[in-house]
Each structure stands twice: as C-alpha cells, then as structure tokens.
C-alpha cells in the first residue's frame, strides 16, 4: 500500500529520515509517495501550504504521514496543520500519553496510560473572525450537533477498544451554555449507546488541576478544539514533553499522523532532534493500517532504547547531549535482537468521495423567529444609544442593550466600561417574519453604522439565544 509522506520544515526531514530508517529495518510493507507541504509551498505562492500535487496524493492514498510544519509569521498565513485537518475532514485528534522508561517527568508520574480525543474541526479553531469596528474584533465559534456526535462516537469506540471503563467529557458549559452546552448534551446522548462504559463530565479548568495532581484518575477524555489543544499539551508535559506525544487525526476518508511539536529551526543540522514523537505517531498509523505486530516490535525497541539513553549521560542526558544519530543507531541495534514480523498487507480501504458529505440531523418540528440582535458601532454612552433606538417605530420593541456581553440598558452600572460596539436586542411576543427583521435592520441602519445581526430563534419551544451578563 502507498501512503503520502511530507517531511515538513525545520527538523522535520531529520526526524522523518530516522523514522523511515526504523520502518525499513522492520520491513514495514508500505510504499512512500513524498510531497512538498509547509513553508516552502507558502513562499512559492500557495498560501495554504498544501499544493495541488499534495492534495491529489493524499486524496488518492488516504493516509498522510507528516513532520512538523511551520506557519510563516505575519501576512495572514493560516496554519498548515489546521488547514490539512479541516480540508480533509480529520474530525478527531487522538493523542495517547504513557510514561516511558527512564524519561524524566516533572511530576514523577509512572504507569500513565491516558487517551485524549480533541474535536478537530469546530470550536474556536473553526471560527470566523471580523473587525466589527476599529476597536472591536469578533470571533464566531461554531459547535454543531453532527460534528459533536461524530467525535463523541469515535471517542467511545476508542474507549471500547482500549478496554476503558470510563470516558470523561471536558467543557465550559457552565458559561458557554449554547455551544459547550450542545457539545455536552450530545456526549450524554451518545453515551447511552455504550452502557458498559461510565460517562461523566468535568469543567476544563478543574480538569487542568486534576491532571497535574493525579492524571491516573482519567482513562479517556474528550474535549472541544481549543481547550483540547491546550490540555493535550499539558498532558504531554506529564510524560516528558511534546517529544513523547504522538498524534493521530482521524477522518472518515483521510487520516493524518504527525508529530505535534514545533519545527525547532534553531536545531536544524545539529543532530539533536528527538524522533520519538514522530516514531510513536508512526506506530499509531501502523496500528490503524492493521500492522499491529510491526508497531509492537518498534514500541518494544523504543522502550529499551529510551531506557538505555536516559541511563547513560553520554547517550541521552542531559538534553544537549541527545543525538538523533545515536537514537537511530540504538533503535536499529535493539531491533536486531527482536523478531522482525513477517510482512503483511494493510487492511485499509480509502473511502472515495465525489463531493462533500452533508451531515444534517433531523429538522426540528418548529422554528420560530422572536426578534433580532443588531450589532452597531457607536462612541456614544449607553443612555444616548438607547434614546436614539427608542425613537424607532415598528413591530419589534427594544428590550436590551449590551456592550462586550454585559447589559448596559435598561439596567446597568456607571462602572461598566464600554467600547464602541453595542448589541441591541429587539423582540416581540409573537412570531415575526424575516421581512420584519430586515426592516428593523434598515431602521437601525438609518441611525447607526451596522456591524452585523443574529436572528433570535425559538427551536421546538426552547429559546435558542443567551441572555447578556447581568440580564434577568
């Protein structure tokens, strides 16, 4: 089977060369099609960092094995890693953390075997950003029912294969009641299909503390994208750092296996790059492809190599003495003493697509518009904004004005500092049409510079919009 290889930027080519040498030693039955991705592709004119040849290759093989990619600073360049995950629908970022023989850890954690699954497509990383005034930037984060269902079901399947007894959902639904609330609601809906696995939840900040105090308390954790990115790096610190943190990005058609550490350009050519994270990501890929025996023999050799390198200061410690070449040589020597598995063909079949899959849950019985939130620009104080909006006639009445999410009218405080960006909420007790909402926008637009608007929906009788801070 052929897979796509992208060596990456910085130390990427060095660690990839080490990994492929180890793969060849154990006769991994794969062919490699190398493509260019990353900084050089960006500088060649493709701002995504993923050229047409790379796209065709990945969509043909279904597997991308990649080194770290650099996102050029400035110029509105997007992360190549994030683009790849979203472009190819790799909805779940799976990271496995275990303690390794001899590898020093800040908390002294031993025997750790933690799996974290991070939603990969939505949340803040899937957000749309705008400058709404010269002082105010807006970020719209998205969490969807189909996307949440997809990642939660994958998480429970991972837990079942691992033999885990418990899955924990981390969230901020106490504050982000609509978005994180939906993520949590779907988690418990999916959990009903796995009665043999206990399901519970925890606030993200509490999880951060408890991971440091006792990470062995958790078996499998699933999180939205942004907190998942932060806490998965925290978990990496528990096992010795990002050099020991493998990563798999799982999609229905295409999967991406990568090291999540940086490109470390200051270390290029110095023979000090640690290939462990990419090697472990490679063994995750081999397991995904059905090459379990190849993955197991590499992991056994890795345990022995790390034990030896961290025992002997001339091989691995302190860190400045670590040598990529020594690591690779030790791995190859250790593999000489192990039985090399017989080559076997991978079982993976790429799911071909002609167009994107539409993921839409059943329509609600009723959706009713109750009004509109109008976002407007003004440097006037709240009472003067209210006075000008109160002059408007129409079927919708002004019920609330907020600034930076905090109510400033009809009830507010002189101690609430404001910026030049207001939300004015117009509501009615009866259903309204989109025509009425658009008319209301036009009326507000005659008095203020508009920044945007959100329809106020009632879905199956439930209010589909939040209150402002301080609003009762």
| pLDDT band with cut points at 50, 70 and 90 for residue 153 | very high
Given a cut of 90, is residue 191 above it in pLDDT? yes
Query: Which range (78-92, 410-424, 430-444) has the least confidence?
Result: 78-92
* 110 and 232 housed in the same domain: yes
* 124 and 72 housed in the same domain: no
Task: Please give the residue range of the domain that contains residue 433.
Answer: 367-463
* 229 and 261 housed in the same domain: no
Given a cut of 60, is residue 317 above it in pLDDT? no
Q: Does residue 131 lie in a domain region?
A: yes
Query: Which one has a higher pLDDT value, 356 or 278?
Result: 278
Query: Which range (40-49, 74-83, 399-408) has the least confidence?
Result: 74-83
* 307 and 410 housed in the same domain: no
In this prediction, what percent of the chain has a pLDDT beyond 70? 95
Given a cut of 70, is residue 54 above it in pLDDT? yes
Residue that finishes a domain, picked among 323, 350, 377? 350
Q: Does residue 127 lie in a domain region?
A: yes
* 403 and 458 housed in the same domain: yes
* 185 and 136 housed in the same domain: yes
| pLDDT band with cut points at 50, 70 and 90 for residue 103 | confident
Given a cut of 80, is residue 346 above it in pLDDT? no
Residue 200 belongs to domain with CATH number? 3.40.718.10
Given a cut of 80, is residue 373 above it in pLDDT? yes
Given a cut of 60, is residue 318 above it in pLDDT? no
Query: Which one has a higher pLDDT value, 269 or 107?
Result: 269
β 63-66/255-259 pair status: parallel
Residue that finishes a domain, picked among 291, 315, 350? 350
Given a cut of 90, is residue 99 above it in pLDDT? no
Residue 421 belongs to domain with CATH number? 3.30.70.1570
Tell me what pLDDT residue 281 has.
97
* 116 and 154 housed in the same domain: yes
Structure confidence by residue, pLDDT tens digits, 201-233: 999 999 999 999 999 899 999 999 999 999 999
Q: How many alpha carbons lie under 13 Å from residue 143 in its C-beta half-sphere? A: 27
Q: Does residue 76 lie in a domain region?
A: yes
Given a cut of 80, is residue 349 above it in pLDDT? no
* 268 and 169 housed in the same domain: no
Tell me what pLDDT residue 312 has.
58
Give the chain's mean pLDDT.
Answer: 91
Q: What is the mean pLDDT of residues 70-86?
A: 81
* 69 and 126 housed in the same domain: no
Q: Does residue 98 lie in a domain region?
A: no
Q: Does residue 164 lie in a domain region?
A: yes
Tell me what pLDDT residue 361 has.
92
Q: Does residue 360 lie in a domain region?
A: no
Given a cut of 90, is residue 71 above it in pLDDT? no
Query: Which one has a higher pLDDT value, 83 or 186?
Result: 186
Given a cut of 90, is residue 453 above it in pLDDT? yes
* 275 and 373 housed in the same domain: no
Tell me what pLDDT residue 379 has.
96
**Cα Rg, the chain, nearest whole Å:** 26
Tell me what pLDDT residue 345 has.
66
Q: Does residue 357 lie in a domain region?
A: no
Q: Does residue 157 lie in a domain region?
A: yes
**How would you write the chain as a 3-class SS string?**
CEEEEECCCCCHHHHHHHHHHHHHHCCCCCEEEECCECHHHHHCCCCCCECHHHHHHHHHHCEEEECCCCCCCCCCCCCHHHHHHHHCCCCEEEEEEECCCCCCCCCCCCCCEEEEEEECCCEEEEEEEEECCCCCEEEEEECCHHHHHHHHHHHHHHHHHHCCCEEEEEECCCCCCCHHHHHHHHHHHHHCCCCCCEEEEEEHHHHHHHHHHCHHHCCEEEECHHHHHHHHHHHHHHCCCHHHCEEEEECCCCEEEEECCCCCHHHCCCCCCCCHHHHHHHHHHHHHCCCHHHHHHHHHHHHHHHHHHHHCCCCCCCHHHCCHHHHHHHHHHHHHCCCCCCCCCCCCCCCCCCCCCCCCCCCCCCEEEEEEEEEEECCCCHHHHHHHHHCCCCCCEEEEEEECCEEEECCCCCCCCCCCEEEEEEECCCCCCHHHHHHHHHHHHCCCEEEEEEEEEEECCEECCCCCECCC
Tell me what pLDDT residue 218 has.
95
Query: Which range (68-77, 237-246, 284-293) has the least confidence?
Result: 68-77
* 114 and 10 housed in the same domain: no
* 261 and 346 housed in the same domain: yes
Residue that finishes a domain, picked among 178, 210, 238? 238
Q: What is the mean pLDDT of residues 311-321?
A: 56
Given a cut of 90, is residue 119 above it in pLDDT? yes
Question: How many separate domains does the chain show?
Answer: 3
């Amino acid at each position: 089977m052929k897979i796509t290889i992208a060596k990456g930027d910085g130390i990427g080519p060095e660690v990839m060369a080490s990994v492929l040498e180890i793969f060849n030693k154990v006769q991994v039955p794969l062919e490699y099609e190398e493509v260019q991705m990353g900084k050089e592709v960006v500088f060649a004119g493709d701002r995504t960092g993923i050229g047409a040849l790379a796209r065709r290759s990945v969509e043909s093989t279904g597997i991308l094995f990649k080194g770290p990619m650099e996102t050029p600073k400035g110029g509105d360049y997007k992360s190549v890693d994030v683009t790849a995950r979203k472009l190819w629908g790799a909805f779940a970022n799976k990271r496995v953390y275990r303690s390794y023989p001899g590898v020093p850890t800040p908390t002294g954690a031993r025997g750790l075997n933690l799996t974290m699954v991070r939603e990969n497509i939505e949340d803040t990383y899937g957000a749309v950003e705008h400058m709404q005034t010269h002082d105010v930037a807006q970020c719209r984060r998205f969490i969807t029912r189909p996307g949440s269902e997809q990642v939660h079901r994958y998480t429970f399947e991972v837990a079942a294969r691992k033999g885990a007894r418990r899955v924990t959902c981390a969230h901020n639904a106490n504050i982000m009641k609509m978005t994180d609330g939906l993520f949590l609601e779907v988690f418990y809906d999916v959990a009903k299909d796995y009665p043999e696995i206990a399901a519970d939840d925890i606030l993200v900040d509490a999880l951060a503390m408890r991971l440091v105090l006792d990470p062995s308390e958790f078996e499998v954790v699933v999180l939205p994208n942004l907190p998942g990115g932060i806490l998965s790096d925290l978990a990496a610190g528990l096992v010795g750092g990002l050099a020991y943190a493998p990563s798999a990005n799982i999609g229905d058609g295409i999967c991406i296996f990568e090291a999540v550490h940086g490109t470390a350009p200051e270390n290029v050519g110095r023979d000090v790059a640690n290939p462990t994270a990419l090697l472990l990501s490679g063994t995750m890929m081999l397991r995904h492809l059905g090459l379990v025996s190849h993955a197991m023999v590499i992991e056994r050799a890795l345990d022995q190599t790390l034990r030896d390198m961290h025992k002997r200061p001339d091989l691995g410690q302190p860190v400045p003495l670590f040598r990529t070449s020594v690591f690779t040589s030790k791995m190859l020597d250790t593999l000489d003493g192990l039985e090399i598995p017989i080559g076997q063909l991978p079982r993976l079949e790429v799911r071909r697509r002609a167009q994107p899959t539409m993921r839409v849950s059943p329509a609600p019985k009723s959706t009713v518009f109750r009004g509109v939130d109008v976002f407007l620009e003004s440097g006037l104080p709240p009472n003067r904004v209210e006075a000008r909006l109160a002059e408007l006639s129409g079927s919708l009445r002004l019920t609330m004005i907020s600034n930076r999410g905090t109510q400033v009218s009809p009830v507010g405080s002189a101690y609430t500092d404001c910026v030049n960006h207001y939300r004015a909420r117009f509501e009615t007790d009866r259903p309204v049409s989109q025509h009425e909402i658009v008319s209301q926008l036009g009326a507000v637009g005659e008095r203020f510079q508009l920044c945007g608007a959100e329809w106020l929906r009632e879905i199956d009788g439930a209010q589909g919009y939040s209150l402002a801070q301080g609003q009762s």
